Amino acid sequence: MPIEEVESTAEDIEEMEIRGAATIAAAAAEALGAQAAASDAPDPDAFEAEMRRAATELYETRPTAVSLPNALRFVLQGMEGKTVEAKRESIRSAGRRFRNDLETAQERLGRIGANRLRDGDVIMTHCHSTDALATVEHAVSDGKHIEAFVKETRPRNQGQITASQLRDMGVPVTMIVDSAAHRYLNDVDHVLVGADSIAADGSVINKIGTSGLAVNARDRGTPIVVAAQTLKLHPGTLTGHTVEIEMRAETEVISADDRADIGEITVENPAFDVTPPRHIDAIITERGQFPPESIVSLMRELYGDMDEEPWTDPE
Ligand code: RI2
C-alpha cells in the first residue's frame, strides 16, 4: 500500500511550499482524492486502511491550522460503498465537493466582509490570508477605494504575498516592519486578519504577532476584524482540548552563521499566537458576522457530534 500521492503534498505542507489554512485544506483533500484514484488496494478493508494512513500522514504535517483535520474528516466521512471501486469514487467525489464548498464559502465570506469596508477605508494586514483578501477583493469590485498598511510579518515575510496580491487588485500599499504597527494604527480604519483556528471561547489562533497587534489596535481604538470560514472552527475545543502552537525551525529567525557569531543563545520560533475574544470586534464567516463570544453556537451546530479523528485505526 504505497501512499506516494500524499507524500509529496505532505512534504510541501511541512516545508510551507503549500501554506495558508484554506490552501492547505484544499491540497489535503486533493491529495486524498489522488491517493484513492491511484490505489491498488486488493479489497475494501485494505483500501480503508490505506486512506486512513494517507490522512494520518497529512494530519501530522502542521498542528495548528484546524482546516487540515477538518478537510480530512470531511473527505473520509464521505467514504461509502462496499467495493473498492465504490469507496474510491466516493472519496474522489467528497474531495471535489470539499474544494467546491471551500471556494463557495470564501466567495460568500468575501461578500459579507466587504460590507464592513467603506469607500476610502484604510486597512492594516498581518501575514497573508486568502479569507481576509477575499473581503478586500469584493469591496474593490464594488467600486470602493481601499488602501492598506501591510506588516511584513517576520520571520517568513508573508506580508510580501499580501502586498503583491493587493497591488494586483489596484490597492495602494504601504509596507511596514512589524514593530511600526502602533505608529500607524491611528491612520487605519480596520485591522483585518485571517485565522488558522478559532476556539470555542472565541479566541483566535493566527500568525505570531496577531495578539500584540490586537492589543495595540485596542489601545488606539481601531477595530480588529477576523475573516475566517467555518472550516477554521476547532471542534476539539468544544470538548476541552487546546490548540497546539507549532514551533518552527530556529533558522527561520537567525542564520546559523549569525547565531554562531553571537555565541550561546536560545532561539524560539512559535508560528502562531492566541488572541483572546475581548480584543476582537468581529469574526466574519460565510454564515455571517459573529461577535467572537457567540461563535460557540455556530461551532456546536456545525461540528457538535462528530468523530474527531476518523483516521485513527478503529481496532
Ligand atoms: P487563509 C496562515 O498561516 C496565516 O496565519 C493566515 O492568517 C492563515 O494561514 C489563514 O490563511 P501559514 O500557513 O486560510 O502562513 O485565510 O503559517 O488563506
For the chain, list the domains and their CATH numbers: 4-108 (1.20.120.420), 116-303 (3.40.50.10470)
Q: Which residues contact 101 (CB under 8 A, 6 or more apart)?
A: none
First to last CA, the chain: 19
- If you measure from the C-alpha of residue 86 to the centroid of ligand 1, how many angstroms do you get, rounded to a whole number? 35
Q: Could you tell me how far CA 246 lies from the centroid of its own chain?
A: 13
For the chain, state the CA radius of gyration. 20
Residues 114-169 have pLDDT tens digits of 999 999 999 999 999 999 999 999 999 999 999 999 999 999 999 999 999 999 99
What number is the average pLDDT over the span 197-210? 98
DSSP output for 93-157: HHHHHHHHHHHHHHHHHHHHHHTTPPTT-EEEE-S--HHHHHHHHHHHHTT---EEEEE--TTTT
Task: Report the alpha-carbon distance of residue 32 to residue 94 in Å, rounded.
Answer: 10
**Closest atom, ligand 1, to C-alpha of 24:** 13
Task: Report the alpha-carbon distance of residue 223 to residue 112 in Å, rounded.
Answer: 17
Look at residue 304 in the predicted model and tell me its pLDDT. 80
Is there a contact between 165 and 236 (Cβ–Cβ < 8 Å)? no
- If you measure from the C-alpha of residue 19 to the centroid of ligand 1, how many angstroms do you get, rounded to a whole number? 7
Task: Report the alpha-carbon distance of residue 50 to residue 309 in Å, rounded.
Answer: 15
pLDDT reading at 276 higher than 90: yes
pLDDT reading at 295 higher than 80: yes
pLDDT, the chain, mean: 96
Instruction: Give residue 216's pLDDT band: very low, low, confident or very high (50, 70, 90).
Output: very high
What is the value of pTM for the model shown? 0.95
What number is the average pLDDT over the span 2-13? 90
Task: Respond yes or no: is residue 313 known to be catalytic.
Answer: no
Q: Which of 127, 168, 257, 281 is catalytic?
A: 127
Residues 229-270 have pLDDT tens digits of 999 999 999 999 999 999 999 999 999 999 999 999 999 999
**Closest atom, ligand 1, to C-alpha of 19:** 13
Instruction: Give residue 314's pLDDT band: very low, low, confident or very high (50, 70, 90).
Output: confident
Look at residue 1 in the predicted model and tell me its pLDDT. 63
Among 300, 271, 253, 307, residue whose Cα is nearest residue 196: 271
- Residues constituting the chain: 315
CA-closest residue to ligand 1 atom 3: 20
